[in-house]
Chain A
Amino acid sequence: MSDNIVLCGVGGQGTVLASKLLAAAAMDRGLPVKTAETIGMAQRGGSVFSHVRLGDGAASPLIGKGKADLIIAFEPAEAVRQLAYLRPGGTVVVSDRAIVPASALVGGPAYDVDAIMAYLREQVEHLVVVDAAAAERDLGSAKCLNVVLLGAAVRTGVLSLTTDDIAGAIRRLVPERFQDLNARALTYVQ
Chain B
Amino acid sequence: MHTDFLMGNEAIALGALAAGVNVVAGYPGTPSTEVLETVAKRKQGNVYVEWSVNEKAAMEVAAGAAYAGARALVTCKQVGLNVASDPLMSLEYIGVKGGMVVLVADDPGPISSQTEQDTRTFARFSKLPLFDPSGVQEAYEMIQEAFELSEQLGTPVFMRPTTRVDHGYEAIEVAEPAEWKRNEPEGFVKDSSRWVIFPRLSVINHAKIEARNAQLADTFSDSPRNFVLPEQGSVVRKGIATHGISYTYVSDNLDEADRPRVLRVGTPFPFPERKAVEFLSGLDEVLCVEELDPVIERALISVCGKYGLTTKIRGKLTGDIQPSGENTVESVGKALASFLGNEPQVNGTAATPAPQLPVRPPVLCAGCPHRASFYAVKKAMGKRKTIYCGDIGCYTLGNAQPLDMVDTCLCMGAGINIAQGVFHVEPDTTCFAFVGDSTFFASGITGVVNAFYNQANLTVVVLDNSTTAMTGHQPHPGTGRTMMGEVVQKVSIEAVLRAIGLTTVETVDPLDHKLAVETVRRVADEPGVKAIIFKSPCVVLARPQAKSHVDAHECIGCQRCIRELGCPAIALKDGKAVIDETQCSGCTLCEQVCPVGAISGGERL
B is a partner of A = yes
A interface residues with partner B (beta carbon < 8 Å): 10-11, 23-24, 27, 32-47, 58-67, 77, 80-81, 83-88, 90, 100-112, 115-116, 119, 122-124, 142
B365 touches A33 (CB 8 A): no
Tell yes or no: B409 within 8 A of A by CB: no
For the complex formed, measure the closest distance between the CB of B364 and the CB atoms of chain A, giving whole angstroms: 7
Tell yes or no: B231 within 8 A of A by CB: no
Tell yes or no: B601 within 8 A of A by CB: no
Query: Knowing A27-B171, A45-B568, A65-B330 touch, does A86 contact B348 (C-beta < 8 A)?
Result: yes
B167 touches A37 (CB 8 A): yes
Q: Which residues of B contact A10 (CB under 8 A)?
A: 360
Shortest beta-carbon contacts, A-B, top 10 = A66-B347, A64-B329, A60-B248, A59-B251, A40-B112, A61-B168, A40-B30, A84-B348, A111-B358, A65-B347
Tell yes or no: B572 within 8 A of A by CB: yes
Query: Knowing A34-B168, A44-B364, A59-B252 touch, does A103 contact B358 (C-beta < 8 A)?
Result: yes
A36 touches B167 (CB 8 A): yes
B interface residues with partner A (beta carbon < 8 Å): 3, 5, 30-31, 111-112, 135, 164, 167-171, 245, 247-249, 251-253, 328-330, 333, 345-352, 354-365, 394, 397, 400-402, 470-471, 559, 562-563, 566-568, 570-572, 582
Could you say which of B170, B247, B253, B400 has the most chain A C-beta atoms within 10 Å of its C-beta? B170
For the complex formed, measure the closest distance between the CB of B284 and the CB atoms of chain A, giving whole angstroms: 26
A44 touches B363 (CB 8 A): yes
Q: Which of B31, B245, B359, B397 has a CB less than 8 Å from the CB of A60?
A: B245
Among residues of B, the one whose C-beta sits closest to the C-beta of A51 is: B168
Q: Which of A27, A65, A104 has a CB less than 8 Å from the CB of B358?
A: A104
B355 touches A119 (CB 8 A): yes
A87 touches B349 (CB 8 A): yes
For the complex formed, measure the closest distance between the CB of B30 and the CB atoms of chain A, giving whole angstroms: 4
| Cα distance, A41 to B107, chains bound together (Å) | 13
Q: Which of B346, B359, B572 has a CB less than 8 Å from the CB of A66?
A: B346
How many residue pairs link A and B with beta carbons under 8 A? The number is 180
B567 touches A102 (CB 8 A): yes
| Cα distance, A122 to B330, chains bound together (Å) | 25
| Cα distance, A80 to B330, chains bound together (Å) | 18
Among residues of B, the one whose C-beta sits closest to the C-beta of A108 is: B359
Q: Which of A40, A45, A60, A90 has a CB less than 8 Å from the CB of B251?
A: A60
| Cα distance, A34 to B453, chains bound together (Å) | 54
For the complex formed, measure the closest distance between the CB of B138 and the CB atoms of chain A, giving whole angstroms: 12
| Cα distance, A42 to B112, chains bound together (Å) | 8
Query: Knowing A27-B171, A40-B112, A60-B252 touch, does A102 contact B349 (C-beta < 8 A)?
Result: no
Q: Which residues of A contact B112 (CB under 8 A)?
A: 40-42
B358 touches A83 (CB 8 A): no
For the complex formed, measure the closest distance between the CB of B171 and the CB atoms of chain A, giving whole angstroms: 6
Among residues of A, the one whose C-beta sits closest to the C-beta of B401 is: A106
B365 touches A23 (CB 8 A): no
Query: Knowing A60-B245, A61-B169 touch, does A105 contact B360 (C-beta < 8 A)?
Result: no
Query: Knowing A44-B394, A44-B397 touch, does A103 contact B359 (C-beta < 8 A)?
Result: yes
